[in-house]
Amino acid sequence: MEQGPAGGSAATPAANATAATTATAGGTGGLLLPLSESEQQRYSELFSRCCPPPEAAAGGSSVGELFRASQLPPDTLHQITEVCGAKRAGYFGPAQFYIALKLIAAAQSGFPVRIESIKNELPLPRFMALKNDSEVRYGTPAELQGVKFQVPHATLEKNSYKRTDEGDKQEPTSPPMSPICSPPASPSTYQRIPLSYGYGKSRSGLEQQRGASYEVRHSTHQQDGPSSGNYGVKPVLAGSALNRSLSVEREQQESSSHYSDDPWRITEEQRDYYINQFRSLQPDLNSFISGSVAKNFFTKSKLPIPELSHIWELSDVDCDGALTLPEFCAAFHLVVARKNGYQLPETLPETLLPEYLQAASLKPVHDCALFDSYSESLAGSQQTRDFSRTEKTSTEEVPDNSTLLQDGKKDDGQALKVSTALKTIPKEFQHLTVKTAAQESNALKARPRSRSYSSTSIEDAMKKGEEPPTPPPRPQKSHSRASSLDLNKIFQQNTQAMRSGWLPPPPPALPPRPSVSQTEQPSEVELHPQMNRAPSQTEENSAAKKEVVLAQPPSKPARRKLRTEAQGLETPELSPTINVTSSLPAAKPHLPVQKQSSKQKRAIQTAIRKNKEANAVLARLNSELQQQLKEVHKERIALETQLEQLRPVTVL
């Protein structure tokens, strides 16, 4: 146990210690607690931490946290509180506090909680993790938020000067004060280090920072072999982007953590940090990070692979092997939380859902439920051809169709209503479309990567547009990896094929509705016909026909199944939106939603213009994608035959 008070702070602890002993003597009615030098220092440290200097008594909550950090059972802690006299006095004065600490030490050494035990020579009480950590971990989420946020930042800063172990004490040198915790478990050490660093660096930001002492402790820990080793891990997590985002973090550090009581809520600084990290991996914020890239990135955090695997499972909600920005934020947040000792939840907390995160970043006007269904529809929409439309329509739909969504009916009538509702696009939705665009691009993840680029361009074009038709919902399991020859790919291709196959049947002149009755996935296809499919129709036809024929039987059940899955919800709304778009130019909406009738007309006209532009772009995109689809399909067939020939019995 390192002793020796820090140079600067030595005086105060010593002074406090002396005062403490006397106070102790008085407080316990004559019980003279012999406090050794180290104990005095330690206790005064802890006491000052728990209660700001001017006050005479330690705050109950911070004391409670500290006690919990000692990892004693609650009964013992209650006992200790009683014995030390805090219960009687009603507060934790210095005397009570010191007695309590002594009792904690006794309890940890296995002695019963009695006044007598503390008369013995006892080691310092051990508190799990640094005080900082304990407070962070068990304290208010606000702190935790701040800490979690700090972790990467701290490491970032540290990164610049200490990439390796031991080494350099950037902090005020001063001989290390006695560490707050005696040997903690190594995992906690690892967690502690970043946290403590975070605290040290974010001192200004966080309320409870005590300045020099913390940094000293940090340096202390740095000296520890394992800790420094562990520390080295944290900077790796930030990776190359650390240096780049250093400045960002600095400013972020200023703002202190806040947020209520939800450790799964991402604060603004954290979000900004995550976004920067995302940028370092993928410059396009609306696109996604591929699985391998993300894997390398998160592996740097040195979390065990099963945990990373679980984090991925939680955060990749659409199961496509890639992380969009909100998914990435959620994953990063989970990693940070895990590092700080939080157990991973079994299911993704509501505040980490992608739609929630996107909504939050957009100054959501709607409640989360809306976005849940909304994102559902977005995720469902596979056909990105009609990007813009999807964006708008889906956005629009969200509020109007939330109830419809719940029903999950593929009701044309409803779709019609929805579509009309779409036409009225309240101004507030417009900003949502931006995010929708992002989500749309996310929805495209399953597609070949090249699509993302076109999608973003489309999004830009579409941003102003209103009431874009929603793309058809995409099959739930979409695998972007060409190597995967499993049936999902077949389904996906088939569904795509089916969709494109439907293009010819409903020519642009046809109202969107009819397609619904044709197949299970009518709406998706309708989009395309209306969107000037003429040029690409022929090639799509050929491609679609071939694929349709090939995949007809299996795809039908597959599609049906896909339908019944989450997609079911999306289809109805999506189709309606598509229908809406198509009917838009045709007829004026006879909306049940006539809230913004005046705005509607203006909006509709603008939308029509924008949509036409979008149409052209989407048509081009569609043809390209069809080509890709054909090629991929051919590849697949070739590979399958090869597989059959070469390896009749394979392991995997």
Chain positions contacting another protein, by CB under 8 A: 291-292, 294-295, 298, 305-306, 308-310, 312-313, 316, 319-321, 346, 476-477, 479, 484-488, 490, 554, 557, 561, 640-641, 643-645, 647-652
Identity of the residue, 525 or 562, whose beta carbon is nearer to another protein in the bound complex: 562
Residue closer to another protein by CB (options 384, 476) is 476
CB of 310 to another protein, least distance (A): 6
Least distance to another protein, CB of residue 102, Å? 44
Q: Please tell me the distance from the alpha carbon of residue 58 to that of residue 46, in angstroms, as a whole number.
A: 10
| Dihedrals phi, psi of 265, to nearest 5 degrees | -95, 140
Nearest to 591 by CA among 400, 407, 429, 430: 400
Q: How many whole angstroms separate alpha carbon 184 and alpha carbon 181?
A: 7
534 vs 549, which CB is nearer to another protein?
549
| Complex with another protein: residue 121 or 644, whichever CB lies closer | 644
Report in angstroms how near the CB of residue 484 gets to another protein at its nearest.
Answer: 6
| SS3 at position 356 | helix
User: Which amino acid is present at 243?
Assistant: N
What is the signed CA dihedral for 282, 283, 284, 287, rounded to 10 degrees? 0
CA distance 210 to 213: 6
The 3-state DSSP class for residue 340 equals: coil
Q: At 86, list the tokens.
A: 């805090």
| Nearest distance, CB of residue 282 and another protein, angstroms | 14
Could you tell me which of 72, 57, 16, 60 has the C-alpha nearest to residue 40? 16
Q: At closest approach, how far in Å is the CB of 547 from another protein?
A: 14
Q: Are 137 and 113 in contact (CB under 8 A)?
A: no
> Which residue's CB is nearer to another protein, number 260 or number 650?
650
Measured in degrees and rounded to the nearest 5, phi and psi for residue 322 equal -145, 155
Q: What angle do CA 275, 283, 469 make, to 5 degrees?
A: 85
Least CB distance from residue 292 to another protein, whole Å? 6
Least Å from the CB of residue 554 to another protein? 6
In 408-532, which residue ranges form alpha helices assigned H by DSSP? 412-423, 427-443, 450-463, 487-501, 513-518, 522-530
Tokens of 646: 């070469």
Q: How far is the CB of 647 from another protein (least distance, A)?
A: 7
Task: Indicate the residue among 250 and 561 with the shorter CB distance to another protein.
Answer: 561
Q: Which two tokens stand for residue 342?
A: 């939080």
- In this complex, which beta carbon is closest to another protein, that of residue 316 or of residue 386? 316
Reported as half-sphere exposure (CB side, CA atoms, 13 A), residue 112 has a value of: 3
Rg (CA), the chain: 31
Nearer to another protein, 428 or 640 (CB): 640
Question: Please, which residue, 406 or 484, has the CB nearer to another protein?
Answer: 484
Residue for token pair 């052209």: 616
- Do residues 293 and 282 lie in contact, with contact meaning Cβ atoms separated by under 8 Å? yes
Write out the H or E segment, with its range, that includes residue 323.
Answer: strand 322-323
- For the CB of residue 536, give the shortest distance to another protein in the complex, in Å: 29
Q: Which is nearer to another protein, 212 or 558 (CB)?
A: 558
In the complex, the smallest distance separating the C-beta of residue 494 from another protein, rounded to whole angstroms, is: 12
- 467 phi and psi, to 5 degrees? 50, 55
